[in-house]
Amino acid sequence: MRALFLAVPLAAASLLAADDPLATLRTSHPRLMVSDADLERFRGVMAEDANARRLYGYIKSDAERLLTQSTVEYKLIGPRLLEQSRLCMSRVYRLAFTFRMEGDRRFLDRALLEMWAAANFKDWNPSHFLDTAEMTHAFAIGYDWLYNDLAEDQRAWLRRAIVKLGLDPALERYALNGKGDGWWAVSPFNWTLVVNGGIVAGALAVAEDEPERARRVAEYALKSAPLAMKSYAPDGGWAEGPGYWDYATRYAGVLMQSLNTALGSDFGLSEMPGFDRAGHFRIFTASPIGRSFNYADSSDGVGGSWPLMWLARRFGQPTYAWFELDKLTSASRTDPLDLACYPETSALPDLLPSFAFRGIDVAVLRTSWTDRNGIFLGIKGGDNAANHSHLDLGSFVLDMKGQRWAIDLGGDDYDLPDYFGGKRWTYYRLRTESHNTVLINGQNQDTAGRAPIVESDFSDPSQPYAAVDLKGAYPKLLAAHTRRVWIENGSKVVFIDSLRAASQPVEALWSMVTDAEVQLRGNEATLAKGGRTLTASVYSPAGAVFEVISTQPASAAENQNRGTRKLAVRLPGRVERADIVVTLE
């Protein structure tokens, strides 16, 4: 039946699912994410693989530590219960997995204690529905993975919590069909996959006892999830940046793997265009020194991301597994699902090191997959209106000589007033002036601005090249602006910004944010960091010199960006045309 389903095109599979998505429900537990056979397979892997034993040791030691920790509590941070939902989920996964591997009831009892605390919350904060979805996911795993060792009264209160606090609030919002609290059901971004993944897991966990609710959830989710899955097309990129790629793809994995293990099919979701390359975005946007191209409210850390293991197995991509295994260096980075999806093989990339993601218009230029002293440059065009975007068309990050020199400051505190509303573009870290691009007349870019990558050539790994058309960033001020960037002979980065004013001459400021120390010498600057130095030179326009500008925002409530500054080139006076040429080596 599974092979038949996977061969059916998405539209036809969705119609088939709508008839009775529970027709092929596996009656035994566990049936979410893993089966008993998966657990047995990993026991066999551990017997042969020292690295697998090491990773399991992280999970087991973490579970041991949790035995004496206090449980989650109903505590909102801003409008969110999300920290507690994630804490519960992480703990339940670790405790339940360790119980299944060890058979030690201490882990089962501690998992039940954790869930009992959350089951007695007044709600799972449906006003911020991510919180509800992630808590439902936690309970689904606890109920399903521990099911065969639970007493019937324990199963009953877990089911009641899943239904009352998870499924029923979700069904109310699904029925709103994108209105009000149900907006996430029709969004193309991370919320849709997170909510559908968490709620579907809850529905499938209790499906034999709550068939009507489970059927309705599955029907809604199979209509809703494709709206976000389309965002991976055509190359696996994600407009919300690497951080939200991770969040969305974790729950895409939860959704599809739960459907597969419980029903024998993901109803064509994993066959949607671009998803087979989703792991490319994760591995290309991470540099050899372990920093990501952290645009769009993302942080620049690169930790573990278990979907890479799942994607490696699902699509036969051993490079994804190599990348994930390289990142699993502690308990905090290792997830039980890394072990459940442990790869049969892993391999260094045989891909060219540079790539341009169509659709989201993000390019990565790099000289090596593994050389920490090599060059890594991420540059973006894209869409300023995409979820979590900053006004940052043309911005870049740069690693060379084992250091990050051009940085993206990242997002600010989500609980700042109206951070996702009318005040968003007043905050320094989200404004154009804080990004590594060209600021025109001191103004923000157009909030609806778009910038395509119009050229790229990666055929010579030592000299990759890309160009972004940035005229859409300032459509009323600029008639043309193209940013061209390339790596020269594997050792130098060259930027050429060619711009032409629209009706009136403009002021232009080229800048990049850095946490290096800077010494100025006219048209040259020396950056020093970590015992390394980098030389910046400006060759055009004639007479242009570098200056250093503060990155401190006016408001004390915002992140003060301590230790950072902007290296800038301010064009003398207003210009009608200009070519700004800057090199870094």
Q: What is the pLDDT of residues 27-77, one digit of tens each?
A: 999 999 999 999 999 999 999 999 999 999 999 999 999 999 999 999 999
Q: How far is CA 213 from the centre of its chain?
A: 30
Separation of alpha carbons 230 and 188, rounded Å:
7
Strand order in the sheet with 524-529: 453-457, 465-469, 478-488, 492-501, 577-584, 532-540, 524-529, 517-521
Tell me, what's the pLDDT at 185?
A: 95
By C-alpha distance, which of 282, 285, 301, 283 is closest to 293? 285
Contacts of 295 (CB under 8 A, 6+ apart): 241, 362, 378, 380, 389, 390, 392, 395, 408
* Residue reference for tokens 């032409």: 500
Q: What is the pLDDT of residues 106-133, one digit of tens each?
A: 999 999 999 999 999 999 999 999 999 9
Q: What is the pLDDT of residues 147-205, one digit of tens each?
A: 999 999 999 999 999 999 999 999 999 999 888 889 999 999 999 999 999 999 999 99
Tell me, what's the pLDDT at 2?
A: 28
Separation of alpha carbons 236 and 245, rounded Å:
10
Is there a contact between 525 and 546 (Cβ–Cβ < 8 Å)? Answer: yes
For residues 375-389, give the mean pLDDT. 98
CA distance readout (Å), 122 to 91, 165, 205: 21, 9, 22
Separation of alpha carbons 143 and 162, rounded Å:
9
% of the chain exceeding 70 in pLDDT: 97
Tell me, what's the pLDDT at 86?
A: 98
Q: How far is CA 328 from the centre of its chain?
A: 17
CB atoms within 10 A of CB 328: 21
Q: In this model, does residue 533 exceed pLDDT 70?
A: yes
Could you tell me the end-to-end alpha-carbon distance of the chain, in angstroms, rounded to an integer? Answer: 58
By C-alpha distance, which of 333, 329, 241 is closest to 293? 241
Q: In this model, does residue 429 exceed pLDDT 90?
A: yes
Is there a contact between 361 and 257 (Cβ–Cβ < 8 Å)? Answer: no
Separation of alpha carbons 379 and 203, rounded Å:
41
Q: In this model, does residue 391 exceed pLDDT 80?
A: yes
Tell me, what's the pLDDT at 10?
A: 39
Task: Sketch out the chain's domains with CATH numbers.
Answer: 2-340 (1.50.10.100), 355-584 (2.70.98.70)
Tell me, what's the pLDDT at 55?
A: 96
By C-alpha distance, which of 271, 248, 258 is closest to 188? 248
Separation of alpha carbons 303 and 291, rounded Å:
9
Q: In this model, does residue 5 exceed pLDDT 50?
A: no
Q: How far is CA 56 from the centre of its chain?
A: 25
Q: How far is CA 529 from the centre of its chain?
A: 28
Look at residue 355 and give its three-state secondary structure.
Answer: strand
Look at residue 577 and give its three-state secondary structure.
Answer: strand
Averaged pLDDT of the chain: 95
What pTM did the predictor assign? Answer: 0.94
Q: What is the pLDDT of residues 89-108, one digit of tens each?
A: 999 999 999 999 999 999 99
Strand partners, 527: 518, 534
Is there a contact between 136 and 210 (Cβ–Cβ < 8 Å)? Answer: no
Tell me, what's the pLDDT at 17?
A: 45
* Residue reference for tokens 């060792």: 149
